[in-house]
Amino acid sequence: MAKAKKRVLKWQRDPEGMRLRILEAAKQEFAAHGLAGARVDRIAAKAGANKRMLYYHVGKKDKLYLTVLEGAYEKIRAEERSLDLEHLDPPEAIRRLIDFTWNYFLRNPEFLALLNTENLARARHLKRSAKVKSMHSPFVEMIGTVVRRGVDSGDFQVMVDPVQLYISIAALSFFYLSNNATLSVIFGRDLLARTAKEERLDHMARLVLAALTGKSFAAVGGGEAVDTRAPADQAV
DSSP letter string, 121-139: TTTTTGGG-SSHHHHHHHH
Report the pLDDT value the prediction gives residue 235, as an integer from 0 to 100: 34
Q: Is the pLDDT at 173 greater than 50, yes or no?
A: yes
Q: What is the pLDDT of residue 7?
A: 53
Residue 226 has pLDDT above 90, yes or no: no
> What are the domain boundaries of the chain?
11-59, 68-217
| Predicted confidence band of residue 199 (pLDDT cuts 50, 70, 90) | very high
Percent of the chain, pLDDT > 90? 76
Q: What is the pLDDT of residue 222?
A: 57
Of 64, 94, 224, residue with least CA distance to 160: 94
119-157 burial by CB neighbour count: b if 16+ within 10 A, else e? Answer: eeeeeebbeebeebeebeeebeebbbebbebbeeeebbe
Q: How far is CA 65 from the centre of its chain?
A: 17
| Whole-number pLDDT of residue 227 | 39
* pLDDT digit string, tens, across residues 96-146: 999 999 999 999 999 999 999 999 999 999 999 989 988 888 999 999 999
Longest alpha-carbon distance in the chain: 73
Q: What's the confidence (pLDDT) of residue 136?
A: 87
On average, the pLDDT of the chain sits at 89
Please state, in angstroms and as integers, the Cα–Cα distance from residue 168 to each residue in 28, 165, 175, 200, 208, following that order. Answer: 27, 5, 10, 14, 8
Average pLDDT over residues 51-70: 92
Ramachandran bin of 60, using left for φ above 0, alpha for ψ from -120 to 50, beta for the remaining angles:
beta
Q: Do domains 11-59 and 68-217 have the same CATH topology?
A: no
Confidence of residue 53 (pLDDT cuts 50, 70, 90): confident
User: What's the mean pLDDT in 156-161?
Assistant: 96
Q: Give the CA radius of gyration of the chain.
A: 22
| DSSP conformation letters of 39-93 | -HHHHHHHHT--HHHHHHHT-SHHHHHHHHHHHHHHHHHHHHHTT-GGGS-HHHH
Q: Tell me, what DSSP letter sits at residue 158?
A: S
Please say if the pLDDT value at position 148 is more than 80: yes
The class that CATH gives domain 68-217 is mainly alpha
Residue 65 contacts by C-beta under 8 Å, 6 or more apart in sequence? 26, 30, 35, 38, 125
Q: Give the pLDDT confidence score for residue 12 in this predicted structure.
A: 57
CATH class of 11-59: mainly alpha
Whole-angstrom distance, CA of residue 22 vs CA of residue 64:
9
Q: Which residues contact 75 (CB under 8 A, 6 or more apart)?
A: 108, 111
